[in-house]
Structure 1
Amino acid sequence: MRHNMVAYLYCLVRDLYAEHGDPRVAHLPLLGNLWIVLAIVALYVAFVLHYGPRWMEHRAPFELKRVMQVYNVVQVLANATIFVIGLTNTYLQPGYSWTCQPVDHTDRSPAMMKTLYASYAYYMLKYLDLLDTVFIVLRKKNSQVSFLHVYHHGGMVFGVSIFMTFLGGSHCTMLGVINLLVHTVMYAYYYAASLGAVKNLLWWKQRITQLQLMQFGYLTFHFLLVIVRNPCQFPVFIAFIGFIQNIFMFSMFFDFYYKTYIRKQRKSAETKLNAS
Structure 2
Amino acid sequence: MAGFILNAQKMWDEVLINADPRVEDWFMMSSFVPSLVICVLYVIIVLLGPSLMANRKPLDIKNVLLVYNLGMVALSTYIFMEFLLSGWATGYSLHCQPVDYSNSKAAMRMASACWWFYISKFIELFDTIFFIMRKKFRQVSFLHVFHHGIMPFSWWFGVKFVPGGFGTFHALLNSFIHLMMYTYYGLAALGPQYQKYLWWKKYMTKMQLTQFILCLIHASQLLYMDCNYPTLFAYWIALYAGIFLVLFANFYHQSYISHKSKPQSNGAVQNGVKEKSN
Q: TM-score, normalised by structure 1?
A: 0.89
**1:204 match:** 200
1:93 is paired with a residue whose SS is: coil
Q: What root-mean-square deviation, in Å, do the aligned CA atoms of Structure 1 and Structure 2 show? A: 1.7
1:63 is paired with a residue whose SS is: coil
Tell me whether 162-171 or 237-246 shows the greater mean CA deviation: 237-246
CA contact (8 A) 1:76 1:185 kept: yes
Tell me which amino acid in the other structure corresponds to 1:209: T
Of residues 96, 120, 125, the one that matches 1:130 is 125
**2:34 match:** 36
Tell me which amino acid in the other structure corresponds to 2:209: L
- Residue correspondences, number: 262
Tell me which amino acid in the other structure corresponds to 2:19: G
Gaps of 5+ in 1: 269-276
2:165 is paired with a residue whose SS is: coil
CA contact (8 A) 2:58 2:135 kept: yes
1:32 is paired with a residue whose SS is: coil
Of residues 73, 98, 120, the one that matches 2:94 is 98
Tell me whether 71-80 or 153-162 shows the greater mean CA deviation: 153-162
**1:185 match:** 180
- Post-superposition shift, 1:227? 1.5
1:203 is paired with a residue whose SS is: coil
1:159 counterpart = 2:157 = no
Specify whether residues 252 and 207 from structure 1 end up closer, same or farther in structure 2 by C-alpha distance, changes over 3 A only.
same
2:200 is paired with a residue whose SS is: helix
Tell me which amino acid in the other structure corresponds to 1:255: N
CA contact (8 A) 1:21 1:32 kept: no
Specify whether residues 177 and 265 from structure 1 end up closer, same or farther in structure 2 by C-alpha distance, changes over 3 A only.
same
CA distance in 1, matches of 2:57, 2:260: 35
Per-residue Cα deviation, 1:11-64 (whole angstroms, up to 9, x for no partner)? 4334423x11111111101113112211110001001122x2222222211111
Q: Which has the greater radius of gyration?
A: 1
CA distance in 2, matches of 1:73, 1:146: 24
Of residues 128, 145, 148, the one that matches 1:150 is 145
Identity of aligned residues (%): 34
**1:48 match:** 46
Per-residue Cα deviation, 1:194-244 (whole angstroms, up to 9, x for no partner)? 1225532443111110000010000001101121212x2222222122112
CA distance in 1, matches of 2:46, 2:5: 27
CA distance in 2, matches of 1:198, 1:225: 43
Tell me which amino acid in the other structure corresponds to 2:21: P
Tell me whether 143-152 or 181-190 shows the greater mean CA deviation: 143-152
Of residues 251, 254, 266, the one that matches 2:246 is 251
CA contact (8 A) 2:187 2:198 kept: no
Tell me which amino acid in the other structure corresponds to 2:235: F
CA distance in 1, matches of 2:239, 2:24: 28
Of residues 67, 81, 90, the one that matches 1:84 is 81
CA distance in 2, matches of 1:83, 1:202: 23
Tell me which amino acid in the other structure corresponds to 2:240: Q
Gaps of 5+ in 2: 264-278
CA distance in 2, matches of 1:253, 1:219: 14
2:106 is paired with a residue whose SS is: helix
**2:268 match:** none
CA distance in 2, matches of 1:132, 1:167: 27
* 1:66-81 matched pairs, under 5 angstroms: 66-81=63-78
Of residues 219, 225, 232, the one that matches 2:221 is 225
1:168 counterpart = 2:167 = no
Tell me which amino acid in the other structure corresponds to 1:37: S
Tell me which amino acid in the other structure corresponds to 1:225: Q
CA distance in 2, matches of 1:20, 1:103: 13
Q: TM-score, normalised by structure 2?
A: 0.89
Specify whether residues 202 and 39 from structure 1 end up closer, same or farther in structure 2 by C-alpha distance, changes over 3 A only.
same
CA contact (8 A) 1:103 1:169 kept: yes
Specify whether residues 137 and 7 from structure 1 end up closer, same or farther in structure 2 by C-alpha distance, changes over 3 A only.
farther
**1:59 match:** 56
CA distance in 2, matches of 1:69, 1:110: 35
**More helix as a share of residues:** 1
**1:274 match:** none
CA contact (8 A) 1:182 1:211 kept: yes
CA distance in 1, matches of 2:98, 2:138: 42
**2:270 match:** none
